[in-house]
Amino acid sequence: MVPDEQYYEMPTLFHLDEYERCLATRGVYCTGSFELSPQGPHQLFQLMQRYAANWVDNFNHTRLHRGLCVSQRCRQLAPQQHPGQGEHNAALAEWFESCVNESTMLSYNLSSRLYQLEYCRRGEVNPDGLSTNERAFAGFVAILLALCAVSTVLDLTLSDHAKKGAAWALSFSIPGCWRSLLAPPPCSSETDLRAFDGLRVLCMMCVIIEHVCWITTHTFLADTRRYEQTRRALDAMLMANSTLVVQIFFMMSSFLLAHKLLQQRRRGEQVPVVRTFFDTMINRIIRVSPSYFVVVWFAASWWSRAGSGPMWTPLIEAEVNICRSKWWTHLLYLNNIVYANDKCLIQTWYLAADMQLYGLSLLLTLALWRCRRGAIYVLTALLAGSIALLFGLAYTWRLVPTFVMHRPESVRTTYSTEPSFNVLYQSPLGNVPGALAGLLLAHLHHQLLDSRIVLSKYKWFRWSAVSSVCVSAWWVAASPLLLGRGAPGRGGAAALAALERPIFAFFVGVALLGAMHGVPSPIGSFLSWRGWGCGARLSFGALLLHLPLNKSLVAARLAPTQLDRQSAVVLSGVYGYTAIARSPLPRSFSSREHHGYLLVAAAIRRVQILEWFGVASVSYLAALPLALCVELPAQRLHRALSALRRRSHAQSDAAPHDTRQKTDL
């Protein structure tokens, strides 16, 4: 541990000059990262190296990140001539490097080398004209709104008899989609799935709050000391490691798929394998793709025009360029595998992995259709084999578990140099234990139903189901402690990387099995509230939209931001005042000023706590028009056209039969 006195002797990691004022006065503003190096033996630099050696918890303090108005700070170092555009950019970068180098040499006797230039610009930049892509998206939105308007008018004016033959024309009706959104979920007398909706919303809230902190770490922080000190706090580890809840989504997806098919088996229905596979996958693609592709299209077209700021270019425009180049991988659900280091809407790796694992789960369920008891043994063997394979890969390639993967410097580079993210986190292989756990849960549940075993009668199971909720949360928060502080050992890191998801899935599976079998618990009653249904249907849109919304807010900040327990719940509005609420009081304050300052600081902290729900609220509100105008209309149109096709086939099949009857007569 480094004392505070020595810590604050090190150079400040992040700094931003006034952006808008600099450009408004035709100044030159540059943003980039620098690597420090000493000219000889240097005690402070050695301290920085020792501190940065704990790369799991600390930033690399030998690298600085600056956004400077170089024309104001280092006017004396300005280039003397104005060459061509390419040479001009190089001259501005050299000016930027010389400015930072002069500052670090004077203050710390350390030289600075520019190793990553984000941009250098002089004066305010005029936006370009609309591209063909942007015009096409605007036209698509106009057509979509026109369809919704026409369909809504038809829905409000046609009689009930006329609507029966024109269901396809009413697919885009806003009132019709609203009724679909609020429709109660189907109920089953044998399986209680009410908790699934509440669990889906709760997990989505966990993902959003974790991403709020993740995006803030992605930008410039005002006080890295506070962030690094709280990194090993139990609540901070719970927050950083909470991305394990994504395994619940994989479990629910594969469970509901297998549960639906196994219900058909219990009813004695015949299921043609090939037709069932393609019909189910088509339904899944139609369920996910429309909203997904619209958001990707927006990101590749209009997103870059949504704001500005010193961090807008590295955070937003860089991602927009990636979306424009790899949009086709999203259409094929391969964005988590093809060009995996290039992140466009990073949260959509889940949609690709889920689609891939959904197909695998469907194949396994159909392959094990005739196996009842044997299916459980086969799935258990596959789960054990996947864990062994993940351990072997993690040990061979030195991969790390989730908490270590979310280390500060890795987050800053969006995991571009972190193989664990590509192999363990976003790949279908790394998430196959969650999908297999869902399949295993479905087959075990139906085996219990076939055997007429009521688990809620057993006291030991009731205790296990209720306690599994707390144990799963404890595992998320405390599992990183198994590796100790600092760089983890190779074997321990590989073991935790392979086991953290299956162990979490096991406890979640026990809790879900208890909820389905009627084991009473406070959390089960909370999640089974009927009011979760609408929120659960909007969770998909919130997943798509929360990161672009929050990232736009972060990229538009004009100053570094504080990140701690209080400011982790901030949406916007108090970003600029966070430093006031956490900074020491100036000595020149009078007692009245002192009292007023404390009132302002306390009010800001209360606002921060209240605004934790800001990102989630805005995301769910934005998901509402996406659901009403894109997601639900596509599903309703597909159902209407499918019903029309079935009716047509039925009539064509009945036509020869009617002809024979008439001939016989």
Average pLDDT over residues 117-128: 86
Distance CA 542, CA 532 (A): 14
Average pLDDT over residues 629-641: 94
CA distances from 358 to 255, 289, 659 (A): 10, 14, 45
Q: Quick check: 86 pLDDT over 50?
A: yes
Contact 514, 524 (CB under 8 A): yes
What percentage of the chain carries pLDDT values higher than 70? 89
Q: Quick check: 138 pLDDT over 60?
A: yes
What percentage of the chain carries pLDDT values higher than 90? 68
Distance CA 293, CA 234 (A): 38
pLDDT band at 85 (very low <50, low <70, confident <90, very high): low
Distance CA 149, CA 657 (A): 43
pLDDT digits (tens, 9 = 90+) for 442-495: 999 999 998 889 888 999 999 999 999 999 999 999 999 999 888 899 999 999
Taking alpha carbons only, the member of 425, 432, 278, 440 closest to residue 357 is 432
Average pLDDT over residues 243-264: 95
What secondary structure does DSSP assign to 523-587, as a single string? HHHHHT-TTHHHHHHHHHHHHHHHHHHHHHHHHT-SS-B--STTGGG--SSSGGGHHHHHSPPPT
Q: Report phi then psi at 631, rounded to 5.
A: -65, -55
**pLDDT at residue 101, rounded to an integer:** 95
Three-state DSSP at 32 gives strand
- Which residues are CB-neighbours of 348 under 8 A, at least 6 positions away? 292, 296, 330, 335, 544
The reported pTM is: 0.89
Distance CA 346, CA 335 (A): 9
**pLDDT at residue 78, rounded to an integer:** 86
Q: Report phi then psi at 372, rounded to 5.
A: -100, -75
